[in-house]
Amino acid sequence: MYNKAIYVIVDSLAIIIMLITMHALGRIKEAYGKWLKFAMLFGIFAITANIFVAVSVNETMAAVSYCAYFSSIDWVILFLFGFCVLYTNHDVIYKKTRHFFAVLMLFDTISIFLNFLFNHQFYIYTSQNEYGVTFFKTGFYSFYYLHLALDYLLILLSLILIIYRIKKSYSVYRIKYLLILFVLIFVILLNLAYMAFSLALDASVVFYGVAGVLIFFSITIFEPRSLMLISVTRAVDDMNEGLVLFDITDTCIYANSFAKERFSMDVSDFSFSSEPISSILKRMGKTGNVYGDVSFNQKVLKGKKEINVYYRVKYCPLLDRRDRHIGSYFLFEDTTEETRYLDALTEARTNADKANQAKSAFLANMSHEIRTPLNSVLGLNEMILRNSEDKEIIDYANNIKQSGAVLLSLINDILDFSKIEANKMEVINVEYNLHALLRDIKQYFEQLSLEKNLYVNISCDENLPTTLYGDEKHLRQVLSNITSNAVKYTKEGGVSISVRSKRRTDKKLVLVFDISDTGIGIADEDLKHIFDAFRRVNEAQNATIQGTGLGLTITKELIGLLKGTINVSSKQNVGTTFTIEIPQEIADNTPIGSFIYKPISQSTPYKESFHAPNAHILVVDDVMVNLKVVEALLKRTLLKIDKATGGDEAIAMCKEKKYDVILLDHRMPAPDGIETFKVISKEGLNTDTPIIALTANALSGAEAEYKEIGFTDYLSKPIKSDVLEELLIKYLPKEKVELNK
């Protein structure tokens, strides 16, 4: 009994293992998993039948159990064969044979159970072992060997397929097939032993449990793991980056091909004290614990030339799943190409910046140089206008004045453009009155529009605030540019400017200007180009209209500077509307009221605004004709004017005489205006005399710069006689000035 109990216990254990394995086999999604599961299921039947054989109480029970056992083994082998066929990727054989063998197995199973009728497969006999325990054993007839032959045929076919696959595959894959081969051979050996020694029970069935576990382990854990390890190692070796791994004791455990080749080292050569690791660690600060990125370069011989190879190195800790420190790694990324590319890019950028600066400097210089002679042309022309009685000559001089104004506005555009390019444009916010600004615009364009017989209408929301705070100068420039274009590109009708606000709060609002004309309009395809620098659209039609194609570029940049927007809509031969929105702050919220404009007569002849026969001024300029211009412009004010053609001469004169105002040119041969200013304001009689910088330097911020140096005020060339007179009234001693009303 003792013997039988052992059989039952071992068999039951095998069943439990197989049940667990079957459950685990559910994870295998491939078709062969299903076949293995069925083989297991019939294995469980076979073992159960085996238990019944062991515990049989009579021959009939033993006969039924043996039938169940033999037929279960048939199906185990059939499903195992199916598994082998699929697992070794012989899908064609599977498709062609599965029905055939299934039918054979079915016949075989029937034949086994028919043993009850024909006694052609096996007979039962009892035998006692040395402990006196009775077993029911089987003896075989010839048909049993047919059943055995069928089973062995399938096992043989499985073996052939597996051996064939082992020969065809390599390393990791070979191992998984070998395992299956081993399991099959073991099953056969145990079965043979059972028959050869006529054992009471077939021990091979017990091995099914172990076999199931082994196969499951091979398919789900061993194979993917080892495959992954091999694949990752290969991929890391093929990487275009160097990888060096260290364990927790800082001993190198792996270096990929890239690292080994680049640093001509082997795994054992990499250590924290060897190069390049040691200098990388030093660069990171403290040896050992500081992780991060660092870059380093190495000189390498390429042919006969020594070249620099750059690396970005990442030094990182290696942690396990529970964040425990298990080592560290270095990753070397070759950044030579990237560094070269960046260097080339930086160089190209520096060159482009230099070229751009040179261009801006050239433009600024040119406009400065053009302003100087223009000063004399316009100044002396003014004298002709003032002094001539001859109508024809006055007409010529008026033409010179107009052309001069156009030339000046071109120079100003170029100067503005170069300032924008050099990022020198600054926002200067002041308090201003919107009506005053609009009046100036209207007055500025009145003469021009009258000549072309156009109207310029301005309407302004009466509820807008009286005083706003913003960059009035640039806003004025934006409106002038757009209005000037509107007048320029309109032949009939006129220009309407309307002003309103939106998003108004107590402190802020967005000013909206709609400037519409009834002019030639802009074609749809040209609309997107109108803001491009130096680009004029519809050149054929506009050939006779003066322009540089810079006005709108500057306007757009200025609006950007003021954080506003500009939009345009246009219809050819109907007209164009520019809508400008600019955020402004509110200084005084009182409603501005209705916009009233009183036209100022344009053709008032010149009349000096003051007389100061007792005042004495000094004008310093190295260009004689400029001195002549100032003298002529101020002739009717009766001022006493001393002239100096250089800094030294001016300093000498200032030591002798006390002046009421000094007009001092900036650009002169040494000492220049600024040096002269410093000497005059420190020594001599004129330390507290107002000194006004007189210069063709009209760059943005120039005025502020001169004032910072200490100049009392600033006057740009070409000199406008009304501005000059205004300044003198402001700075001459009040008692010496007699205003001319």
Q: Is 134 in the site for ligand ADP (CB under 6 A)?
A: no
Q: Is 486 in the site for ligand ADP (CB under 6 A)?
A: yes
Binders in 167-206 for ligand ADP, by CB under 6 A? none
Binders in 564-593 for ligand ADP, by CB under 6 A? 576
Residue 673, token pair as written in the block: 């205006």
Q: Is 489 in the site for ligand ADP (CB under 6 A)?
A: yes
Q: Is 70 in the site for ligand ADP (CB under 6 A)?
A: no
Choose between 433 and 548: whose C-beta lies nearer to ligand ADP.
Answer: 548
User: Closest distance between ligand ADP and the C-beta of residue 421, in Å?
Assistant: 15
Binding segment (CB under 6 A) for ligand ADP, from list 378-386, 518-526, 689-697, 720-728: 518-526
Residue 245, token pair as written in the block: 């791994």
Exactly one of 191, 485, 626, 689 binds ligand ADP (CB under 6 A); that residue is 485
Binding segment (CB under 6 A) for ligand ADP, from list 121-129, 195-203, 519-527, 597-605: 519-527
Indicate the DSSP class of residue 89. T
Residues 6 or more apart whose CB falls under 8 angstroms from that of 602 comprise 446, 447
Q: How far apart are CA 433 and CA 595, in angstroms?
A: 12
Choose between 56 and 485: whose C-beta lies nearer to ligand ADP.
Answer: 485
User: From residue 703, how far is each of 107, 623, 692, 715 by CA, in Å?
Assistant: 113, 22, 11, 8
Nearest CA to 497 out of 426, 564, 576 is that of 576
**φ/ψ of residue 458, rounded to 5:** -125, 130
CB atoms within 10 A of CB 52: 18
Exactly one of 373, 493, 549, 684 binds ligand ADP (CB under 6 A); that residue is 549
User: Closest distance between ligand ADP and the C-beta of residue 537, in Å?
Assistant: 4
User: Closest distance between ligand ADP and the C-beta of residue 550, in Å?
Assistant: 6
Binders in 313-372 for ligand ADP, by CB under 6 A? none
Binding segment (CB under 6 A) for ligand ADP, from list 118-126, 149-157, 537-545, 715-723: 537-545
Q: List own/partner pairs for 704-710 with CB under 8 A and 24 or more apart.
A: 706/666, 709/674, 709/677, 710/677, 710/678, 710/681
Among left, alpha and beta (phi > 0; psi -120 to 50; other), residue 153 is alpha
Q: Is 520 in the site for ligand ADP (CB under 6 A)?
A: yes
CA–CA–CA angle 407, 413, 414 (5° rounding): 95
Q: How far apart are CA 526 and CA 576, in angstroms?
A: 13
Residues 6 or more apart whose CB falls under 8 angstroms from that of 207 comprise 186, 187, 190
Q: Is 552 in the site for ligand ADP (CB under 6 A)?
A: yes
User: Closest distance between ligand ADP and the C-beta of residue 457, in Å?
Assistant: 15
Choose between 380 and 561: whose C-beta lies nearer to ligand ADP.
Answer: 561
Exactly one of 327, 551, 647, 718 binds ligand ADP (CB under 6 A); that residue is 551
Of the chain, the end-to-end C-alpha distance in Å amounts to: 145
Q: Is 547 in the site for ligand ADP (CB under 6 A)?
A: yes
Nearest CA to 180 out of 152, 210, 218, 209 is that of 218
Total residues at interface with ligand ADP (CB under 6 A): 21
Q: Is 493 in the site for ligand ADP (CB under 6 A)?
A: no
Q: Is 519 in the site for ligand ADP (CB under 6 A)?
A: yes
**φ/ψ of residue 22, rounded to 5:** -60, -40
User: Closest distance between ligand ADP and the C-beta of residue 517, in Å?
Assistant: 5
Q: Is 522 in the site for ligand ADP (CB under 6 A)?
A: yes
Q: Is 538 in the site for ligand ADP (CB under 6 A)?
A: yes
Exactly one of 40, 434, 530, 617 binds ligand ADP (CB under 6 A); that residue is 530
Residue 603, token pair as written in the block: 């053709």
Binders in 404-433 for ligand ADP, by CB under 6 A? none
Residue 262: burial class (beta carbons within 10 Å; 0-12, 13-18, 19+): middle
Beta bridge partners, 499, equal 460, 513
Q: Is 386 in the site for ligand ADP (CB under 6 A)?
A: no
Asked if residue 80 lies in contact with residue 158, where contact means CB atoms within 8 angstroms, the answer is: yes
Residues that bind ligand ADP (CB under 6 A): 485-486, 489, 517, 519-522, 530, 536-538, 542, 547-553, 576
